[in-house]
Amino acid sequence: MGFQPVVLWTDLLLFGLLGCIVLAAWSARRSEPMRAAWGRVGASGVGMTSLTLLLIFVLVGLVDSLHYRERLVPAGAQASEARPQLSTEVRSALDALAEPLRTRVEKTYSAPLAWQLFSKQTVEGKDGTQHREFPRLKYGGAGLQYPEQDLVGDVMGRIAIGLATAAGGWLVLAGVVVALVARSRRVPFGAGWRAVWRGKGGLAWRAMLVTLAGVLLLVGPITALATEYHVFGTDKVGQDVLFLTLKSIRTALVIGTLTTLVTLPLAVALGIVAGYLGGWVDDVIQYVYTVLNSIPGVLLIAAAVLMMQVVIDTHPEWFETAAERADARLLALCLILGMTSWTGLCRLLRGETLKLRELEYVQAARAFGVSTARILARHVLPNLMHLVLIALVMDFSGLVLAEAVLSYVGIGVDPNTISFGTMINAARMELAREPMVWWSLVAAFIFMFVLVLAANLFADVVRDAFDPRAS
């Protein structure tokens, strides 16, 4: 059985954006001010800690963006004679890596690390009588012969194995980092280790290694436990909550990054032009974003999403699979959020440009007859990049939270798309149960909190490093 790669629009844009970031980083190496600014970011312990966490989330999202469809051979036909057909289900590389988590579906709710269902059900005994009990799970703890006695020992043993594996993996990564630092500084391995630990390796390698140690010490035991148990429990239909949270990361990254492709060009171009040219151009741009701000954002987004959903529903022939349909709605949501979230940054850049155009070096450039476009590109925009960068990362955090809110009220991503918002929306009714089903909400909150916190901390470090007024 083979497979055929599938490229969704969001996959294409996400990898395209990653390529642009790589090219921008490569070109920044030739600029001394850019190298100095990013050097300050790399020397910051908080910056490298938050960047390490963000890169882990990005790695999960990219793996989940490698989609494919399996080739199926009709039953009863020879593989060489039958014409292969493509499965209607679009999967990702993350689905393949987490195949046990995806396929081990229970009947309904089960608590984290449980071996039986969360609620009692009517079970018919061998003698034909019916009684209520907690049925045993089909997959969780299936290898335990006497779960009441063996559960704690088995869990502790798997945690020990996971910690040992994590420690070995960390030692390998630390050895690679130290070897690279020692090679770049042309010193022995021991001297390279001392340089890394004392923060003299060029970057804050110690903070990165400590962060990786913490992550591996969590991932190792969770991976060891996930082979036998549902670490974060299961939801109403028996799906593994850990798998759902991993799948939600890609949706958050798509919402947070692709929306900026729409927001930044509008905000930067209109804000700088309005502040520098003034006059009727400034009046028109102010009128546009004032009108947009006067409309409640949720209502404007809801109206646009509903109209886009009508277009999608009336043209089913555009989409070959359900994944393409869900991807179209996700891309539409990114466009709608981008068209409605540029006004704040535009107003901020306009105000800063009003101050910059009165400075002496800008006035001198105008007196020497330098063109407006050259002044904006050489003198105005570089002095606004720290605001653009901080707004970029801060908007990422806000957009991740916005998707959660919109999906909670039913106007976010497609119901078939797994996201933090849909998980929180599904957990809304679970909190009213007695006893309360809390693990879906807690898992979504923890992952989303770490992602947003890392983005905010990294934004603070980038702002301080790129602000030309910082000492």
Q: pLDDT tens digits for 45-80?
A: 888 899 999 999 999 999 999 988 887 766 555 555
pLDDT of residue 214: 92
pLDDT of residue 60: 93
Task: Give the range among 66-70, 152-156, 211-215, 459-463 with minimum mean pLDDT.
Answer: 459-463
In angstroms, rounded to a whole number, what is the distance separating the alpha carbons of residues 320 and 46? Answer: 45
Of 343, 339, 459, 447, which Cα lies nearest the Cα of 400?
Answer: 447
- Burial class of residue 185 (count of CB atoms within 10 Å of its CB; 0-12, 13-18, 19+): middle
Side chain identity, residue 392: L
Q: What are phi and psi of 133, to 5 degrees?
A: -155, 175
Percent of the chain scoring above 70 in pLDDT: 94
Residue 130 has pLDDT above 60, yes or no: yes
In which region does residue 278 sit, left (phi positive, over 0), alpha (psi from -120 to 50) or beta (all else)? left
Residue 428 has pLDDT above 90, yes or no: no
In angstroms, rounded to a whole number, what is the distance separating the alpha carbons of residues 404 and 109? Answer: 22
CA dihedral of 244, 248, 249, 252, whole degrees rounded to 10: -170
Of 113, 108, 106, 100, which Cα lies nearest the Cα of 233?
Answer: 113
In angstroms, rounded to a whole number, what is the distance separating the alpha carbons of residues 143 and 140? Answer: 8
Q: How confident is the model at residue 129 (pLDDT cuts 50, 70, 90)?
A: confident
pLDDT of residue 82: 55
Q: What are phi and psi of 110, to 5 degrees?
A: -145, 140
Residue 421 has pLDDT above 90, yes or no: no
Q: Do 68 and 5 form a contact (C-beta atoms < 8 A)?
A: yes
In angstroms, rounded to a whole number, what is the distance separating the alpha carbons of residues 260 and 291? Answer: 21
Q: What mean pLDDT value characterizes the chain?
A: 83
Q: Do 205 and 51 form a contact (C-beta atoms < 8 A)?
A: no
Q: How confident is the model at residue 1 (pLDDT cuts 50, 70, 90)?
A: low
- 3-state SS, the chain, equals CCEEEECCHHHHHHHHHHHHHHHHHHHHCCCHHHHHHHHHHHHCHHHHHHHHHHHHHHHHHHHCCCEEEEEECCCCCCCCCCCCEECCCCEEHHHHHCHHHHHCCCCCCECCCCCECCCCEEEECCCCCEEEECCECCCCCCCCCCHHHHHHHHHHHHHHHHHHHHHHHHHHHHHHHHHHHHHHHCCCHHHHHHHHHCCCCCCCHHHHHHHHHHHHHHHHHHHHHHCCCCCCCECCCCCEHHHHHHHHHHHHHHHHHHHHHHHHHHHHHHHHHHHHHCHHHHHHHHHHHHHHHHCCHHHHHHHHHHHHHHHHHHCHHHCCCHHHHHHHHHHHHHHHHHHHCCHHHHHHHHHHHHHHCCCHHHHHHHHCCCCHHHHHHHHHHHHHHHHHHHHHHHHHHHHHHHHHHHHHCCCCCCCCCCCHHHHHHHHHHHCCCCCCCCHHHHHHHHHHHHHHHHHHHHHHHHHHHHCCCCC
Helices 385-408, 420-430: crossing angle, 10 deg rounding: 40
Residue 248 has pLDDT above 60, yes or no: yes
Side chain identity, residue 311: V
Most confident segment among 343-352, 392-401, 456-465: 343-352
Q: Do 306 and 385 form a contact (C-beta atoms < 8 A)?
A: no
Q: How confident is the model at residue 42 (pLDDT cuts 50, 70, 90)?
A: confident
In angstroms, rounded to a whole number, what is the distance separating the alpha carbons of residues 373 and 272? Answer: 11
Of 380, 301, 387, 400, which Cα lies nearest the Cα of 344?
Answer: 387
Between the alpha carbon of residue 335 and those of residues 42, 256, 279, 388, 397, the distances in Å are 33, 11, 30, 19, 17
Q: What are phi and psi of 341, to 5 degrees?
A: -120, 15
Higher pLDDT, 203 or 58: 58
In angstroms, rounded to a whole number, what is the distance separating the alpha carbons of residues 274 and 256? Answer: 26
pLDDT digits (tens, 9 = 90+) for 330-354: 888 888 888 888 888 888 889 888 8
In angstroms, rounded to a whole number, what is the distance separating the alpha carbons of residues 444 and 465? Answer: 32
Token duo for residue 154: 């088995």
First-to-final CA distance of the chain: 61
Q: Region 21-48: what's the mean pLDDT?
A: 80
CA dihedral of 147, 153, 154, 155, whole degrees rounded to 10: 100
In angstroms, rounded to a whole number, what is the distance separating the alpha carbons of residues 97 and 126? Answer: 40
Residue 387 has pLDDT above 60, yes or no: yes
pLDDT digits (tens, 9 = 90+) for 77-113: 555 555 667 777 888 899 889 888 888 888 888 889 8
Q: What is the value of pTM for the model shown?
A: 0.86
pLDDT digits (tens, 9 = 90+) for 267-288: 888 999 988 888 888 889 888 8
